[in-house]
């Protein structure tokens, strides 16, 4: 998409010639579909990439876009390629030059940060003064500002660091008209006791975030939490399997139970205590990906039965629990409490080698190893958010859903299901069912269909709210919660001209297809229709050219799922190196 | 490996951006692992960006332009991106391999930037990158009165230091030290040729292979069972690039001088209590890890888990040389103050891979960043194993008036004469 000269000049006037890029090679890196979205590897090439340095420059870019009929979309780190646009003529604001941690205010437990100040950098600095920050599962490389203002925001340490929606204390916002708005305490001091004003957060982000569709956030006041661990996370282990030493006031537990109901009971009691730093249910295979140096080692150790107990399927009703006490008495209390709850709910503690415990603890504190869940071919992720009482149902519905897919030979999960789950704010259940699929049009189709059917079924069964609903999904599934309706009104009110790209939010106008959707969804997601849906999605994958020559070897019907003991594991191959 | 061969792995880049950063961050200021993205800012400068551009080029989505070439070559081919990507994604993407393949394609398409083309032209015409017609690689040792053993254990290759008069005294001292410690070695001297490392890094693999084969011949001729070198770039070429090109050396081992000296403990200088920091060069560190070539297939174990068909291990840079240089510095009595970015995730000074020649501004930025990090430790001297990196860092420190001395390790540990 080439950009008009007048528009280019206007952008260059806003940020300087050297900070506007329109060469195809640069643009290609902002049109890359990492596989998070269905469809081809390249979506629409943006009209330009601009790199503002200040809030004023962001505002000037917005005004320049509006004057020249261009849409705009910001990205902070681009960590999950969620910023991709589904339309042409979009200017991408890469906020990489706005990278500063402007302030860490120890007394008031907050930081003031720009979009490209990453969680890893913020955490390292906060820890030096006895504080820490919320880190979402995306890990140390994501932007807390993007997460808090614009996209989801749940994280493994949610027991103690909450949900990012609630970690915004103040914000600076460039509206779709290019106006600069400061919410929270304005002026020199960013501190705001009540959060942004009288509760504007709900409108600018809602649950899943507006993804830049309501304007661009350029700075936030961000809540920090007490950290009683070491001021610097020393490294243990052999790179890249970095661990961290457990300080005297930390306790790490790996309890397991015979059933999901017992896990639920235990988590609800742990939540109730308000004493947990982090509680995590990680599928054993994913623990295995972390504790082994490579997929080959994981495969071999799974086959020869030498994976540590925590990484074996039989430990699937298990948790990782980390407590950090601020005094010896609190440490003793926390230890007693966890042991008692585990015992009374019929669980037992797994023994762990020190180096494994140290790695898992680093993962709990920093989310460093969550990405290893994606060391495989394709993947999908779907889940729910509500109270922990739904946990057994979440497990059961995932088991039902993947049963047929497992038989196809295209999908890998634990024996029965593969949920990641953790509590937020000592109450909320967050689950994400991460399923590895074979990288082929068929594998991709299975992932997509599983995702859509899951969201449909869980709404039908009233299993809380779906964890990932964005873009067109809001129209498809948002109406159950009546949220879509109000989101559309917000978008229309704040952006009547639809200046901001809303590919991942809600469009100002409902499409005809979406008006029909409520009447056909029953059929579309029925079991009988599943093969048709699969066929459609496979075709889409192939047509989109999402798969390459190299995958052609995989295109035939998938081989049957042969017991591991007979095959040594491998079933399908793709030319690679 | 060609761009076509990397098709699938390039397409697997999740664009997570992790290859910009250290996986374990100690301090906000020194969190980057990639000098290229730090310099260029837009995503194409990162390891992942180069993989995406490689894929786009292969599939006809983009053609060559200045911006693309800058993103490809304002990069020191330091491999930081690869070890970090592996931390998160195993061998799924291997961005450094994508960089090698992309650069090879650039050369095949006749698009190598002029400043780098001048280097490969020089190599072809004169046998050295500088294009010196006085390319006698034996001059530095011509005056040495030593007799090589008839059946030497090792052959000493010194790389381009042989062509730099300023480095001759250092090389001569090194030979004396090695002799004093009982090493059995011969000096390649006038028979030495360029190892092809730089040619490989900029993408001229045909030239790199021709030069590598000459090195193989001269080593075979020497009868030695090991190669000894003080040159980090040469070390990386022999241990990493040759296996990638399928060139097999007729020796059991390639040994860096620091490894030899740390084991044989010759007399060493005293720097009691001096506060120094040590800069791991990429070429002695992660790129100095012996590369194990493999080809074939990725299988899908348990239906969807990507595994190598052969059990060749995924590399994370652990096999580089990290401890021996530190042991040598410690033996002088100096106090090593570690920087935040060390060992496998060390931050490159920006010189290598053609980066310094192609875009001096990039290389200066990287060196400045590294020197600032060194200063943050309170050290008065930065010591490093590579004479070239030391020279580059020293020049930037002087130009920018940064209050830190830069010393080459071999010089730093050499006992004061007289
Ligand atoms: C392996 C993996 C695990 C993940 N786990 C989690 C998880 O546990 N919890 C969770 O919440 N998320 C998770 N995510 C998704 C994650 O939320 C996003 O990657 C991250 O929040 C966004 O931060 P970012 O810096 O990458 O933002 P970007 O990718 O830059 O942007 C994310 C979205 O926000 C918009 N945006 C960015 N900056 C701004 C701004 N300044 N103003 C307005 N809009 C903006 C973008 O347009 C885009 O739509 C995961 C992703 C991956 C790949
Ligand atoms: S190369 Fe690896 S680390 Fe870099 S963006 Fe791609 S997947 Fe992420
Ligand atoms: S090789 Fe080094 S400079 Fe080049 S992209 Fe990778 S980390 Fe950056």
What are the structure tokens assigned to B128, written together?
Answer: 């050295």
Whole-number Å distance between alpha carbons of B45 and B37: 5
| String of DSSP letters for B107-121 | HHTT---HHHHHHHH
Atom 47 of ligand 1: nearest residue by CA position: A83
Whole-number Å distance between alpha carbons of A439 and A542: 12
In a mutational test of the A interface, the residue from B85, B302, B310, B376 whose CB has the highest number of chain A CBs within 10 Å is: B302
Residue bearing the bigger pLDDT, B111 or A40: B111
Report the residue of chain B nearest A44, measured CA to CA. Answer: B61
Paired residues of A282 in beta bridges = none
Rg (CA), chain A: 24
Reported as half-sphere exposure (CB side, CA atoms, 13 A), residue A61 has a value of: 32
* Per-position pLDDT tens, chain B of length 418: 899 999 989 999 999 999 999 999 999 999 999 999 999 999 999 999 999 999 999 999 999 999 999 999 999 999 999 999 999 999 999 999 999 999 999 999 999 999 999 999 999 999 999 998 888 999 999 999 899 999 999 999 999 999 999 999 999 999 999 998 899 999 999 999 999 999 999 999 999 999 999 999 999 999 999 999 999 999 999 999 999 999 999 999 999 999 999 999 989 999 999 999 999 999 999 999 999 988 777 887 887 788 898 889 999 999 999 999 999 999 999 999 999 999 999 999 999 999 999 999 999 999 999 999 999 999 999 999 999 999 999 999 999 999 999 999 999 999 876 5
Give me ligand 2 centre to Cα B417, in Å. Answer: 50
Closest-CA residue to B349 (of B319, B384, B380): B384
Q: Say yes or no: CB of residue B93 within 6 Å of ligand 2.
A: yes
| Chain-chain contact of B65 with A23 (C-beta, under 8 angstroms) | yes
What are the structure tokens assigned to B346, written together?
Answer: 């060390």
pLDDT at B406: 98
Contacting residues of B for A235, CB less than 8 Å apart = 24
| Domain total of chain B | 1
Least confident of A7-11, A25-29, A365-369, A398-402: A398-402
Q: Which residues contact B233 (CB under 8 A, 6 or more apart)?
A: B159, B195, B197, B198, B283, B352, B386, B388
| Chain-chain contact of B56 with A42 (C-beta, under 8 angstroms) | yes
| Chain-chain contact of A34 with B13 (C-beta, under 8 angstroms) | yes
Evaluate whether A444 touches A38 at the Cβ level (below 8 Å): yes
pLDDT at A555: 24
What are the structure tokens assigned to B160, written together?
Answer: 């381009």
pLDDT at B227: 98
Residue A544 banded pLDDT, cuts 50, 70, 90? low
Report the residue of chain A nearest B49, measured CA to CA. Answer: A29
Residue in B28, B49, B307 nearest the CB of A295: B307
Report the atom number in ligand 2 closest to the C-alpha of B88: 3
**Alpha carbon distances (Å) from A486 to A246, A465, A508, B309:** 47, 16, 11, 53
Domain that holds residue B136: 116-264
| Chain-chain contact of B300 with A572 (C-beta, under 8 angstroms) | yes
pLDDT at B205: 97
Q: Say yes or no: CB of residue A260 within 6 Å of ligand 1.
A: no
Residue A445 banded pLDDT, cuts 50, 70, 90? confident
What are the structure tokens assigned to B130, written together?
Answer: 């500088």
Tens-digit pLDDT profile for residues A180-223: 988 876 445 655 555 555 677 888 887 789 999 999 999 999 99
Report the residue of chain B nearest A231, measured CA to CA. Answer: B26
Q: Does domain A239-366 have CATH number 3.20.190.10?
A: no
What are the structure tokens assigned to A61, written together?
Answer: 């870019």
B53 in reach of chain A (CB within 8 A): yes
Closest-CA residue to A174 (of A262, A103, A74): A74
| Chain-chain contact of A295 with B67 (C-beta, under 8 angstroms) | no
Which 3 state secondary structure label does DSSP give B158? coil
What are the structure tokens assigned to B145, written together?
Answer: 């009165």
Domain segments of chain A: what residues? 101-226, 239-366, 374-468+511-553
Query: Does some domain include residue B355?
Result: no
- Which helix (H) or strand (E) segment is A412 a member of? strand A411-412
| String of DSSP letters for A483-500 | HHHHHHHHHHHH-TT--B
| String of DSSP letters for A521-545 | HHHHTSTTTHHHHHHHHHHHHHHTT
Backbone angles phi, psi at B278, to 5 degrees: -115, 130
B295 in reach of chain A (CB within 8 A): yes
What are the structure tokens assigned to B50, written together?
Answer: 């180069």
Overall pTM surpassing 0.90 (yes/no) = yes
Q: Does domain A101-226 have CATH number 3.30.420.40?
A: no
| Chain-chain contact of A78 with B43 (C-beta, under 8 angstroms) | yes
Residue in B1, B7, B303 nearest the CB of A409: B303
Residue A355 banded pLDDT, cuts 50, 70, 90? very high
Ligand 3 pocket test target in B36, B103, B317, B362 with most atoms within 8 Å of CB: B36
Segment A273-300 shows an average pLDDT of 94
B11 in reach of chain A (CB within 8 A): yes
Residue in B13, B26, B302 nearest the CB of A569: B302
pLDDT at A196: 56
What are the structure tokens assigned to B115, written together?
Answer: 């400043």
What are the structure tokens assigned to A257, written together?
Answer: 């139970």
pLDDT at B50: 98
- Which helix (H) or strand (E) segment is A187 a member of? none
Give me ligand 3 centre to Cα B86, in Å. Answer: 14
Query: Does some domain include residue B58?
Result: no
| Chain-chain contact of B17 with A368 (C-beta, under 8 angstroms) | no
Backbone angles phi, psi at B7, to 5 degrees: -50, -55
Report the atom number in ligand 2 closest to the C-alpha of B15: 5
Q: Strands B154-157 and A278-280, how do they pair?
A: unpaired
Give me ligand 3 centre to Cα B161, in Å. Answer: 25
Rg (CA), chain B: 21
Query: Does some domain include residue B138?
Result: yes
Q: Which residues contact B112 (CB under 8 A, 6 or more apart)?
A: B106, B120, B202, B203, B204
| Chain-chain contact of A28 with B56 (C-beta, under 8 angstroms) | yes
Give me ligand 1 centre to Cα A422, in Å. Answer: 19
| String of DSSP letters for B315-335 | P-STTS--HHHHHHHHHTTPE
Domains A101-226 and A239-366 alike in fold:
no
Whole-number Å distance between alpha carbons of B12 and B48: 10
Q: Is A317 exposed, middle or buried (0-12, 13-18, 19+ CB in 10 A)?
A: buried
Q: What is the mean pLDDT of chain A?
A: 86
Strand B226-229's sheet: what is its strand order?
A: B185-187, B154-157, B226-229, B253-256
Q: Which residues contact B325 (CB under 8 A, 6 or more apart)?
A: B258, B262, B278, B280, B284, B383, B385, B409
Closest-CA residue to B404 (of B381, B383, B388, B387): B381
What are the structure tokens assigned to B188, written together?
Answer: 């390649």
Give me ligand 2 centre to Cα B16, in Å. Answer: 5
Spell out the alpha helix ranges (H) of B238-359: 242-245, 257-264, 323-331, 355-358
Q: Say yes or no: CB of residue B53 within 6 Å of ligand 2.
A: no
What's chain B's length in residues? 418
Residue bearing the bigger pLDDT, A482 or B72: B72
**Alpha carbon distances (Å) from A505 to A73, A84, A213, A474:** 12, 12, 6, 8
Report the atom number in ligand 3 closest to the C-alpha of B366: 3
Which 3 state secondary structure label does DSSP give B254? strand
Evaluate whether B303 touches A571 at the Cβ level (below 8 Å): yes
Ligand 3 pocket test target in B18, B21, B99, B282 with most atoms within 8 Å of CB: B99
Atom 1 of ligand 3: nearest residue by CA position: B77
Give me ligand 2 centre to Cα B58, in Å. Answer: 18
CA distance A232 to chain B (A): 7
B264 in reach of chain A (CB within 8 A): no
Query: Does some domain include residue B102?
Result: no
CA distance B294 to chain A (A): 7
Q: Which residues contact A544 (CB under 8 A, 6 or more apart)?
A: A38, A39, A40
Whole-number Å distance between alpha carbons of A103 and B182: 58
Query: Does some domain include residue B26?
Result: no
In a mutational test of the A interface, the residue from B95, B303, B310, B344 whose CB has the highest number of chain A CBs within 10 Å is: B303
Query: Does some domain include residue B163?
Result: yes
Which 3 state secondary structure label does DSSP give A55? helix
Residue in B8, B31, B318 nearest the CB of A238: B318
What are the structure tokens assigned to A173, written together?
Answer: 């916002």
pLDDT at A417: 83
| Chain-chain contact of B67 with A141 (C-beta, under 8 angstroms) | no
Atom 5 of ligand 3: nearest residue by CA position: B47
Whole-number Å distance between alpha carbons of B131 and B119: 8
Report the residue of chain B nearest A569, measured CA to CA. Answer: B301
Q: Which residues contact A84 (CB under 8 A, 6 or more apart)?
A: A31, A32, A33, A37, A43, A503
Give me ligand 1 centre to Cα B112, in Å. Answer: 37
Please list the helix, strand and coil fractions of chain A in percent, rounded to the nearest 5, in that order: 40, 20, 40
Q: Which residues contact A537 (CB under 8 A, 6 or more apart)?
A: A38, A444, A445, A448, A449
Report the residue of chain A nearest B87, measured CA to CA. Answer: A240
Q: Strands B381-384 and B405-408, how do they pair?
A: parallel
Give me ligand 1 centre to Cα B230, in Å. Answer: 46
What are the structure tokens assigned to A9, written together?
Answer: 């000049």
Evaluate whether A171 touches A196 at the Cβ level (below 8 Å): yes
| Chain-chain contact of A24 with B308 (C-beta, under 8 angstroms) | no
Closest-CA residue to B55 (of A39, A48, A25): A25
Q: Which residues contact B243 (CB under 8 A, 6 or more apart)?
A: B290, B291, B292, B293
Report the atom number in ligand 2 closest to the C-alpha of B51: 1
B52 in reach of chain A (CB within 8 A): yes
Whole-number Å distance between alpha carbons of B362 and B354: 11
Whole-number Å distance between alpha carbons of B350 and B367: 6
Q: Which residues contact A275 (CB under 8 A, 6 or more apart)?
A: A323, A330, A333, A334, A337
Contacting residues of A for B303, CB less than 8 Å apart = 409-412, 436, 438, 558, 561, 571-572
Q: Give the ligand with the smallest distance to the CA of B48.
A: 2
Evaluate whether B80 touches B347 at the Cβ level (below 8 Å): yes
């Amino acid at each position: 998409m080439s950009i008009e000269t007048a528009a280019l000049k206007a952008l260059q006037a806003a940020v300087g010639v050297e900070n506007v890029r329109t060469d195809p090679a640069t643009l290609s890196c902002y049109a890359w579909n990492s596989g998070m979205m269905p469809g081809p590897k390249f979506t629409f090439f943006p009209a330009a990439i601009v790199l503002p340095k200040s809030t004023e420059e962001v505002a000037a870019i917005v005004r320049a876009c509006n004057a020249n009929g261009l849409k705009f979309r910001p990205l902070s780190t681009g960590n999950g390629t969620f910023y991709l646009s589904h339309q042409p003529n979009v200017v991408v604001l890469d906020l990489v030059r706005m990278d500063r941690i402007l302030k860490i205010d120890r007394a008031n437990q907050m930081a003031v940060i720009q979009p490209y100040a990453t969680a890893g950098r913020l955490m390292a600095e906060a820890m030096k003064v006895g504080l820490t920050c919320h880190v979402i599962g995306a890990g140390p490389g994501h932007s807390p500002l993007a997460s808090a203002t614009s996209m989801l925001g749940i994280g493994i340490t949610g027991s103690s660091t909450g949900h990012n929606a609630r970690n915004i204390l103040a914000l600076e916002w460039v509206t779709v008209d290019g106006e600069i708005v400061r919410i929270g305490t304005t002026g020199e001091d960013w501190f705001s006791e009540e959060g942004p004003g009288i509760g504007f957060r709900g409108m600018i982000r809602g649950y899943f975030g507006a993804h830049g569709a309501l304007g661009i956030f350029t700075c936030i006041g961000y809540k920090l939490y007490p950290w009683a661990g070491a001021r610097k996370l020393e490294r243990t282990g052999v790179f890249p399997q970095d661990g961290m030493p457990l300080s005297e006031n930390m306790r790490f537990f790996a309890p397991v139970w015979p059933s999901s109901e017992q896990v639920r009971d235990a988590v609800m009691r742990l939540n109730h205590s308000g004493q947990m730093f982090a509680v995590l249910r990680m599928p054993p295979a994913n623990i295995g990906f972390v504790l082994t140096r490579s997929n080959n080692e994981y495969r071999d150790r799974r086959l020869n039965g030498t994976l540590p107990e925590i990484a074996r399927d039989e430990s699937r009703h298990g948790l990782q629990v980390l407590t950090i006490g601020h005094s010896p008495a609190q440490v003793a209390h926390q230890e007693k409490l966890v042991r008692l709850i585990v015992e009374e709910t019929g669980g037992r503690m797994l023994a762990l080698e020190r180096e494994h415990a140290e790695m898992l603890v680093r993962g709990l504190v920093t989310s460093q190893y969550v990405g290893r869940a994606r060391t495989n071919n394709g993947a999908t992720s779907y889940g729910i958010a509500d109270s922990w009482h739904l946990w057994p149902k979440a497990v059961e519905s995932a088991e039902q859903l993947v049963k047929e897919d497992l038989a196809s030979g295209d999908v890998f999960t634990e024996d029965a299901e593969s949920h990641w789950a953790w509590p937020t704010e000592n109450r909320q259940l967050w689950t994400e069912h991460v399923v590895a699929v074979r990288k082929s049009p068929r594998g991709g189709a299975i992932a997509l269909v599983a995702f859509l059917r899951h969201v449909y079924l869980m709404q039908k069964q009233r299993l809380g709210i779906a964890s990932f609903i964005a873009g067109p999904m809001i129209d498809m599934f948002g109406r159950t919660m009546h949220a879509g309706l109000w989101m559309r009104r917000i978008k229309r009110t704040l952006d009547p001209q639809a200046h901001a790209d809303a590919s991942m939010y809600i469009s100002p106008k409902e499409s005809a297809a979406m008006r029909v959707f409520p009447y056909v969804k029953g059929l579309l997601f029925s079991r009988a229709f599943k093969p048709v849906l699969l066929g459609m999605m496979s075709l889409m994958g192939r047509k989109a050219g999402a798969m390459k020559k190299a995958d052609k070897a995989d295109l035939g019907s998938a081989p049957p799922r042969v017991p591991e003991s007979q095959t040594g594991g491998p079933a399908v191959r793709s030319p690679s190196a | 490996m060609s761009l076509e061969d990397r098709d699938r792995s390039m397409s697997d880049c999740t664009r997570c951006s992790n290859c910009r950063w250290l996986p374990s961050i100690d301090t906000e200021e020194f969190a980057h692992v990639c000098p290229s993205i730090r310099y260029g800012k837009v995503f194409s400068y990162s390891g992942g960006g180069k993989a995406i551009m490689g894929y786009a080029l292969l599939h006809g989505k983009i053609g060559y332009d200045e911006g693309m070439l800058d993103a490809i070559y304002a990069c020191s081919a330091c491999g930081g991106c690869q070890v970090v990507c592996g931390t998160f994604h195993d061998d799924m993407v291997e961005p450094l391999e994508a960089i090698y393949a992309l650069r090879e394609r650039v050369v095949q398409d006749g698009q190598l930037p002029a400043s780098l083309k001048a280097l490969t032209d020089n190599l072809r015409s004169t046998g050295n990158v500088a294009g010196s017609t006085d390319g006698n690689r034996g001059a530095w040792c011509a005056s040495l009165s030593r007799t090589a053993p008839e059946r030497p254990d090792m052959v000493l290759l010194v790389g381009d230091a042989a062509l730099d008069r300023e480095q001759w005294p250092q090389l001569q001292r090194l030979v004396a030290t090695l002799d004093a410690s009982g090493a059995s070695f011969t000096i390649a001297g006038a028979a030495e040729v360029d190892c092809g490392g730089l040619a490989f890094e900029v993408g001229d693999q045909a030239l790199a292979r021709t030069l590598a084969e000459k090195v193989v011949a001269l080593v075979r001729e020497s009868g030695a069972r090991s190669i000894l070198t003080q040159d980090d770039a040469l070390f990386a070429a022999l241990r990493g690039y040759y296996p990638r090109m399928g060139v097999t050396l007729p020796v059991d081992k390639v040994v860096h001088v620091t490894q030899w000296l740390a084991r044989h403990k010759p007399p060493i200088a005293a720097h009691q209590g001096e506060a120094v920091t040590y800069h791991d060069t990429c070429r002695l560190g992660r790129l100095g890890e012996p590369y194990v070539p493999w080809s074939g297939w990725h299988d899908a174990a348990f239906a969807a888990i990507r595994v190598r068909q052969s059990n060749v291990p995924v590399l994370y840079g652990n096999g580089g040389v990290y401890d021996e240089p530190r042991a040598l510095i410690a033996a002088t009595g100096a106090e090593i103050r570690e920087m935040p970015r060390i060992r496998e995730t060390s931050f490159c000074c920006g010189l290598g891979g053609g980066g310094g020649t192609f875009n001096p501004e990039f290389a200066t930025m990287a060196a400045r960043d590294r020197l600032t990090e060194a200063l943050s430790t309170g050290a008065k001297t930065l010591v490093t194993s590579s004479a070239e990196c030391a020279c580059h860092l020293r020049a930037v420190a002087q130009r920018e008036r940064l209050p830190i001395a830069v010393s080459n390790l071999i010089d730093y540990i050499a006992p004061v004469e007289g």
